[in-house]
Amino acid sequence: MSAAQESALSGAGIARYEHALMGTYGTPMRMLERGEGNFVWDADGNRYLDLLGGIAVNALGHGHPAWVKALTDQAATLAHVSNFFATAPQIALAERLLTLAEAPEGSRVFFSNSGAEANEAAFKMARKTGRDTIIAFEGGFHGRTMGALAMTHKPAIREQFGPMPAGVVFLPANDAQALRAAVAEAGDNLAAVIAEPIQGEAGVRPLDHDFLTLARELTSAAGALLILDEVQTGVARTGAWFAHQLFGVQPDVMTLAKGLGGGFPIGAVVAFGDRAGQLLGKGEHGTTFGGNPMGAATALATLDAIEQENLLVNAKTVGAHLTSRLEALEGVLEVRGEGLMLAIGLAQPQAPQIAAAAVDAGFIINPPSPDTIRLVPALTLSVAEADSFIDWFSSYLEDNPGSQDGGR
Ligand SMILES: *Cc1c(COP(=O)(O)O)cnc(C)c1O
């Protein structure tokens, strides 16, 4: 269905959207109404295979029965208390995350509501070391609040919001020499290095194994924190519970959000070991909603389903299948990423046109840059569902080989 054929229902909804909501996101592609499994339906009744998963959020797809039951049961039992009180789901979730992260004794968890807020807490932990310099990487994305933004390089999203919190130094990713030099220059003023193991918003660009290992060695030697932002890579996305486990590198601080609640907003900071675990003390940080029972119950249900339904294995299997079929296509330069966090590197800068054609054909995909298509579907995606997209995509590329100007 083309935009011109859109029904009055969807069109009128989007007009009201644009009238009532701030223009921070641009015009929505569609107005969505409901979801089931790996599919969503728009207001006009059209069905789409969801290969974006709410940007790596809907780990179990849409309407997963155990997730819905956990949320509704918890809502009916106890929806929210303040952090003057403890609740069983919150304690169980903290313990579970420490176990899954193989965190040593003394490790601690802090709950937030989003990825940016998790990174704000990590930023404050870096400040609490009493040191000033934080090293972050070009291409990294850590969120839109001021502390998270201060650690995010992309000029287009920072430019008009200065002055930023001070002390952040940006380096090219995977440049060992630059990292050694910057760590040496900061000396005992180095508070932290923050990195995504696989840069998501930059278009699924993994750090080199050796580079992340070097970051671990240098921060340990300097007595600084290694903060890994696993907001996108965490919670089974890459086929491991956390991406750092694929690299064999344990951070001092790990931040989580996106997939953790399976669609309910929740974030977390995992501090590894006694020192990191004790950095923020009484009164030094907090949030009203963080760790509330509904967020904790839905996160527990998400982790349970990932385990019971073997979704770590499914992410690996379906990801490998997608990778090998996509790599074989004419017009595809490379496939990057791990598990179900994948990017298709295109020979021509036609990603926006492909994404627009895909949604018309019933597939939701995402173009983070002109030559990249990102796929971060639910971890429940089947091989048959993946194939339905690849079949469409390969015939699209045959019909539209692209040109140097990116047209079709
Ligand atoms: C999405 C994302 C964030 C920001 O999370 P929000 O929940 O949008 O605040 C931070 N870091 C990474 C790596 C992300 O992908």
Residue 221 has pLDDT above 70, yes or no: yes
Residues 44 and 70 in one domain: no
The confidence band for 7, taking pLDDT boundaries of 50, 70 and 90, is low
Give residues with Cβ within 8 angstroms of 229, minimum separation 6.
Answer: 115, 119, 122, 140, 142, 194, 195, 196, 255
Provide the strand spans (E) within 183-331. Answer: 190-195, 198-199, 205-206, 225-229, 253-256, 267-271
Q: What is the pLDDT, as a whole number, of residue 8?
A: 58
**CB–CB of 292/80 below 8 Å?**
yes
Q: Is the CB of 142 within 6 Å of ligand 1? A: yes
Residues 142 and 279 in one domain: yes
- The answer to the question of residue 160 being in a domain is yes
Residues 271 and 315 in one domain: no
Q: Which helix (H) or strand (E) holds 110?
A: strand 108-112
Atom of ligand 1 nearest to the CA of 229: 13
Residues 138 and 203 in one domain: yes
**Cα–Cα distance, 145 to 257 (Å, whole number):** 15
**Cα–Cα distance, 170 to 135 (Å, whole number):** 6
Residue by residue, DSSP assigns 221-257 as: HHT-EEEEE-TTTTTTTTSSSSHHHHHT---SEEEE-
Residues 38 and 89 in one domain: no
Mean of pLDDT values over 294-316: 98
**Cα–Cα distance, 67 to 329 (Å, whole number):** 37
Q: Name the domain boundary from 308, 325, 352.
A: 308
Between strands 363-364 and 366-369, the pairing is unpaired
Residue 406 has pLDDT above 50, yes or no: no
Q: Is the CB of 257 within 6 Å of ligand 1? A: yes
114 backbone φψ class: left, alpha, beta (φ>0; ψ -120 to 50) = beta
Domain extent at residue 372: 3-63+310-399
Q: Is the CB of 143 within 6 Å of ligand 1? A: yes
| Atom 5, ligand 1: residue with shortest CA distance | 115
> Which residue has better confidence, 13 or 303?
303
Residues 304 and 315 in one domain: no
Atom of ligand 1 nearest to the CA of 115: 5
Q: Is the CB of 364 within 6 Å of ligand 1? A: no
Residues 216 and 92 in one domain: yes
Atom of ligand 1 nearest to the CA of 140: 13
Residues 122 and 243 in one domain: yes
Ligand 1 centroid to residue 271 C-alpha, Å: 18
pLDDT more than 90, % of the chain: 95
Q: How many domains does the chain have?
A: 2
Query: What phi and psi, each to the nearest 5 degrees, are found at residue 260?
Result: -55, -45
Report helix, strand or coil for 278. Answer: coil
Between strands 39-42 and 133-137, the pairing is unpaired
Question: Can you read off the two tokens belonging to residue 79?
Answer: 């929806």
Atom of ligand 1 nearest to the CA of 116: 9
The confidence band for 11, taking pLDDT boundaries of 50, 70 and 90, is confident
Residues 117 and 263 in one domain: yes
Mean of pLDDT values over 130-157: 97
Residues 158, 208, 381, 343, Cα dihedral to 10°: 60
- The answer to the question of residue 407 being in a domain is no
Q: Is the CB of 200 within 6 Å of ligand 1? A: yes
Mean pLDDT score across all residues of the chain: 95
Catalytic residues: 141, 229, 258
Q: Name the domain boundary from 308, 325, 346.
A: 308
Q: Is the CB of 197 within 6 Å of ligand 1? A: no
Residues 208 and 303 in one domain: yes
Q: What is the pLDDT, as a whole number, of residue 407?
A: 43
Residues 35 and 154 in one domain: no
- The answer to the question of residue 404 being in a domain is no
Q: What is the pLDDT, as a whole number, of residue 4?
A: 44
Of 242, 317, 265, 262, the closest CA to residue 59 belongs to 262
Q: Which helix (H) or strand (E) holds 344?
A: strand 341-346
By residue count, the chain amounts to: 408
Ligand 1 centroid to residue 109 C-alpha, Å: 18
* Residues linked to residue 342 through DSSP beta bridges, in sequence order: 337, 375
Ligand 1 centroid to residue 7 C-alpha, Å: 34
Q: Is the CB of 196 within 6 Å of ligand 1? A: yes
Residues 303 and 316 in one domain: no
Q: Is the peptide bond before 163 cis (omega within 30 degrees of 0)?
A: yes
- The answer to the question of residue 117 being in a domain is yes
Q: Which helix (H) or strand (E) holds 277?
A: helix 273-277
Q: Which pLDDT tens digit goes with each residue over 25-43?
A: 999 999 999 999 999 999 9
CATH of the domain at 330: 3.90.1150.10
Residue 5 has pLDDT above 80, yes or no: no
Q: Name the domain boundary from 308, 341, 372.
A: 308
Q: What is the pLDDT, as a whole number, of residue 9?
A: 67
